[in-house]
């Protein structure tokens, strides 16, 4: 980017450098690998979501959803998808850190990045849904300051309840 070019709007850059050899890059070229990898782990394995469906999710183009592969030292470590605008702050549609990379602070780094982008955009909240049975993810989000807003039955899968979560980033503006 030359000095004359304006910085991209929050969440709308092609790639982000999160430090510690962690990068968010366009999901292109990683869709098939992500489909296979996510189909093998919960929550997607538990509900039987096929790899092809997850691959198609990553291939989908939507002007209000920003999808990135997470690279750690150049290796595919996960992926993140964010919907913005949502409701006075962005909605985290999907976050996955692959098992070999979990527990190293990558999820936290991605959530810190998202909070920073949300604030830059003037947002005052982050939002997401987590399955009620996904105890590890619920512990992760609670540790990051998310609070349950309420249960949403039969949202993703009939018979399963999603918990709508909110993290306050700032006091509401005018």
Q: If DSSP codes are grouped into helix, strand and coil, which group holds residue 157?
A: coil
Nearest-angstrom CA–CA distance, 111 and 119: 12
Q: Which is nearer to ligand COA, 128 or 169 (CB)?
A: 128
Q: Which is nearer to ligand COA, 9 or 53 (CB)?
A: 53
Is residue 104 within the footprint of ligand COA (CB under 6 A)? yes
Backbone angles phi, psi at 139, to 5 degrees: -65, -40
Minimum distance from residue 85 beta carbon to ligand COA (Å):
20
Is residue 143 within the footprint of ligand COA (CB under 6 A)? yes
Is residue 119 within the footprint of ligand COA (CB under 6 A)? no
Cβ distance 78 to 96 under 8 Å? Answer: yes
For residue 48, CA distances in Å to 43, 52, 56 come to 9, 11, 15
Give the interface size with ligand COA as a residue count (CB under 6 A): 19
Nearest-angstrom CA–CA distance, 7 and 137: 33
Q: Which is nearer to ligand COA, 11 or 70 (CB)?
A: 70
Nearest-angstrom CA–CA distance, 121 and 29: 28
Site for ligand COA in 30-89 (CB under 6 A): 41, 43
Binding residues vs ligand COA (CB under 6 A): 41, 43, 95-97, 102-108, 130, 134, 136-137, 139-140, 143
């Amino acid at each position: 980017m030359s000095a004359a070019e304006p910085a991209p709007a929050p969440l709308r850059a092609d790639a982000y450098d999160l430090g510690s050899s962690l990068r968010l890059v366009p999901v292109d070229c990683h869709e098939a690998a992500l489909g296979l990898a996510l189909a093998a782990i919960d929550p997607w394995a538990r509900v039987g979501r096929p790899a092809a469906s997850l691959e198609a999710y990553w291939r989908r183009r939507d002007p209000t959803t920003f999808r990135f592969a997470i690279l750690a030292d150049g290796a595919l470590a996960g992926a993140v998808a964010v919907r913005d605008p949502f409701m006075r702050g962005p909605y985290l549609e999907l976050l996955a850190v692959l098992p070999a990379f979990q527990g190293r602070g990558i999820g936290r780094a991605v959530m810190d990045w998202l909070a920073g982008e949300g604030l830059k955009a003037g947002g005052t909240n982050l939002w997401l849904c987590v399955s009620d049975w996904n105890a590890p993810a619920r512990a992760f989000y609670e540790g990051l300051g998310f609070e349950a807003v309420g249960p949403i039955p039969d949202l993703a899968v009939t018979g399963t309840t999603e918990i709508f979560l909110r993290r306050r980033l700032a006091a509401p503006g005018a």
